Chains A and B, each alone.
Chain A
């Protein structure tokens, strides 16, 4: 059984640029959630995708967007990068849709915006 994988591991971008982060969910999982973890803080919920549809969103602006593909892998896109977007971005997958009671996290992508 393959766990949750994320790519790339690290990324450095310049303010104003756009970035795409990728996540492959665990085998059999149809739900993917994305979190932003700033340094020294707990993860903050960005949004969730269930069967290719957005299924909930946290308090993040529209420049944070996502996709889920038929194989349930997912992308997180961030436009017009700001310095405060520097963080660890975590993807988590689960099965069965809401309610969310168990999810498995990937190792994260460390994004640095300069």
Chain B
């Protein structure tokens, strides 16, 4: 069964600094991979998704992620953090042909002024 592991339950960066949130996946078949963001007391919002097209995926709010099969990774990056980026971020995987999505435990991003 597919799964994801998010490295680091809490990441803290300064405003304007690079954001890097790590995600490694495990899947026996080519995966679909996703990053979601969750603000306090809200549902999940899709940031970006990889569905076997381009390996570098651009999402909303300036975020992007690169699918690296050799490293089984799908790390999320943003060149310059903004205070409004402070939230919980979840990486998720869905096997092609499957019908459920498996989420990581989440990484809380804090942005310092």
Report A's interface with B, CB cutoff 8 A. 4, 33, 35, 40-45, 48, 50, 55-56, 58, 90, 92, 97-108
Contacts and interface: CB of A to CB of B under 8 A. Distances in A.
22 contacts: A33-B100, A40-B106, A41-B106, A42-B90, A42-B103, A42-B106, A44-B103, A45-B101, A45-B102, A48-B100, A50-B99, A56-B100, A90-B43, A92-B44, A97-B99, A98-B97, A99-B98, A100-B32, A101-B51, A103-B101, A107-B41, A107-B42
Contacts of B12: none
Main secondary structure of the interface of A (DSSP, over half): loop
B24 interface: no
B22 to A, nearest CB: 15
Contacts of A90: 43-44
A58 B101 contact: no
B46 A56 contact: no
B43 A107 contact: yes
B49 interface: yes
Given A42-B103, A108-B42, 17 more contacts: A4-B43, A35-B103, A40-B106, A41-B105, A41-B106, A42-B104, A42-B106, A43-B44, A43-B90, A98-B97, A99-B96, A102-B46, A103-B101, A104-B46, A105-B36, A106-B43, A107-B41
A112 to B, nearest CB: 14
Considering the complex of A and B, which 4 residue pairs feature the smallest CB-CB distances, nearest first? A42-B103, A98-B99, A105-B43, A56-B99
Contacts of B32: 99-101
B113 to A, nearest CB: 25
Contacts of A99: 32, 94-99
Nearest to B102: A45
A48 B43 CA distance: 17
A98 B94 CA distance: 10
A68 B106 CA distance: 29
Given A101-B49, A105-B44, A108-B43, A43 B103 contact: yes
Q: Which of B42, B95, B100, B101 has the most CB of A within 10 A?
A: B100
